[in-house]
Structures are given as C-alpha cells and as structure tokens.
Amino acid sequence: MNDGCANVLIDGFLDALWLERGASPHTLAAYRRDLGHWTSHLERSATTLLAPGEGAIEALLGERRAAGYHPRSDARLLSSLRRFYRWAMLEGLLEADPVGGVGTPPARPGLPKTLDEVDVDRLLAAPDVEQPIGLRDRTMIEVLYACGLRVSELVGLRLDSLNLRQGVVRVLGKGGKERLVPLGEEAHDWLERYLREGRGQLMRDITRAPLFPGRQDGFMTRQTFWHRIKLHAASAGISKPLSPHTLRHAFATHLLDHGAHLRVVQELLGHRDLSTTQIYTHVAQRRLEALHRRHHPRG
C-alpha cells in the first residue's frame, strides 16, 4: 500500500468521525497526526496500514520509549489506532483488530500546571487598559479565567454569544456542544467597559461577528492570543511555565479550593465525562483533608 492509499483510508476515517460524532477540527488534526506517525513507522518496516504485522505496535512503542515520549502520549496514540481499526472492521476492511491485544501503557495522570491566585491577579493587572488592545487583552483574560474556557472557545466567541443582562456567555465547545457559562461580576464589568471603550476602536466594522477581533476584523487565532498572554506574563514577572490551558486549570483548581463540587466544575468546563474532570480530585482531596484537620476533634 502506497502513501496515497493510506491517506485515502485515513481521510475516510476522519470523514466518518466528523459526520457521525461531530469531531472538532482540533480532534481530527490530532487523529491525523497519530495515524501519520503510525503510517511512517509501517513504511520503515515495509508493512501497511491494513496489515501492520505482528509486533509492529510494540516495536513502535519501544522506539517511542527510547525517544523519551511520555506514557500519556503513547496512550493517546493507542486510542487513535484502536478507533481507526474499529472503523476499518465496521467497514469490512479487516476481520481482526491488529492492536486489540496491546495493553495501554500505565500512566499516572499528571497534575495540570496552574497559577495561584496571586499570580492570576498579577497577570490580570499587566495589560495597559488605557489602550484599546490592552483593554481587549485584560477582558479576554478575565473571561478566560472567570469561565474556564478553552482558548479556542474564547477566540471563537461572537458578539451575539453574550447576554450581559443575564450575565452568561454561550460557548460552543468540543463536538459542537453548546453550554451557558456564568460570567461573574468582574468579567461582566470588564466586558461592559470593553464594549463601550475598546471594541469599536479595534474594528472598522463593529457589526462583524468576532467579540475579540484579530486582524482585519476577523477572529483572533489561538496562537496570537497565546503570544499576548506570554507577553503579559513576562511583564508581570511570572516565570512559571505556561500552557494554553493554564488559566483553565487555575479556574478549576480555584473553584475547588473555594468549595465547588466536582460535578459543577465538570459542567462549567464542558467535560462530557466526569472522569475527565477527576484529574482535579487532588485539589478536592487536599481541601477535605484541611477541613478534617480543622474541624475533627482528632484532626
């Protein structure tokens, strides 16, 4: 099987994911990367996507371990392959799953990198809000932290996503699933000021859809926003490593620190399954231990 045949198979699989499950472009891109990595390995061993040969996946996992890949990355790769081969079997292209007997590498879930509340305050104070761009950036960070949004959800917000009277924002999450997220007073007030003083100065046509415009009145890219975040973090003297999810993790962690229930955090984050949110249970456990020490007679 040449590259073209493999690409046709992968395209068919991704089309099915999009049509049947509404997979987002980011999810589809991740599957394509994993399957492309697998296909490259198979080409080096002179095997094919539909006939990978015995021990092929174990050999790839061995290579990845030697190269220093994290077990979570291997687990995601295996998940992508399993889903692809299940699809191939349903399509009648295979009779058996070539990776069905391969166990998932053990991986203890890593704790998300986050910022403490002092760091968040410093980051929020960094933009120059007397300038339209600074006011936009401050408002975006406020909304990101107040609502626990993914960066892709934040930059994709439309003007009509807001309902300031009710104090909520309508968010389009993974798989096209919508959720309503409360803004909180601070984010609400900054949005009002931004709409009053900033947005009109950043756009040539304020009737355009983007709430937070990038170039030429279009939607800002995730990369542009993250570049802005890193600039403000450097200005605030924050040396902790940041990722696009840092403020989302801070949102979840600080909610739990202040007594929120894990189920509530799940809904606000837009997680379909509680197991995805349970990476934050270390926070809830830490809070319970502190409450026990404070209130139990033998704490």
Provide φ and ψ at 99, rounded to 5°.
-115, 15
| Rounded to 5°, angle at Cα 37 from 82 and 73 | 65
Which of 136, 138, 150, 188 is catalytic? The answer is 150
Give, in order, the Cα–Cα distances in Å from 244 to each of 107, 123, 227, 255.
22, 14, 10, 19
Residues of the chain with CATH 1.10.150.130: 3-90
Provide φ and ψ at 64, rounded to 5°.
-70, -40
Which of 76, 86, 193, 271 is catalytic? The answer is 271
Which of 174, 179, 208, 287 is catalytic? The answer is 174
Q: Which residue has the tokens 């391969």?
A: 102
Reported as a pLDDT band with limits 50, 70 and 90, residue 2 is very low
pLDDT at 288: 56
pLDDT at 195 over 50: yes
Q: Is residue 280 annotated as part of the catalytic site, yes or no? A: yes
pLDDT at 287 over 60: no
Q: Is residue 150 annotated as part of the catalytic site, yes or no? A: yes
pLDDT at 161: 93
pTM: 0.57
pLDDT at 272: 54
Residue 153 CA to chain centroid, in angstroms?
Answer: 9
Tell me what the mean pLDDT of segment 49-66 comes to.
79
* 298 or 15: which leads in pLDDT: 15
Q: Is residue 174 annotated as part of the catalytic site, yes or no? A: yes
Reported as a pLDDT band with limits 50, 70 and 90, residue 235 is very high
Which of 136, 199, 232, 248 is catalytic? The answer is 248
CATH topology of domain 3-90: DNA polymerase; domain 1 (1.10.150)
pLDDT at 178: 85
**Given 3.30.70.1450, 3.40.50.720, 1.10.443.10, 3.90.600.10, which CATH number is that of 117-241?**
1.10.443.10
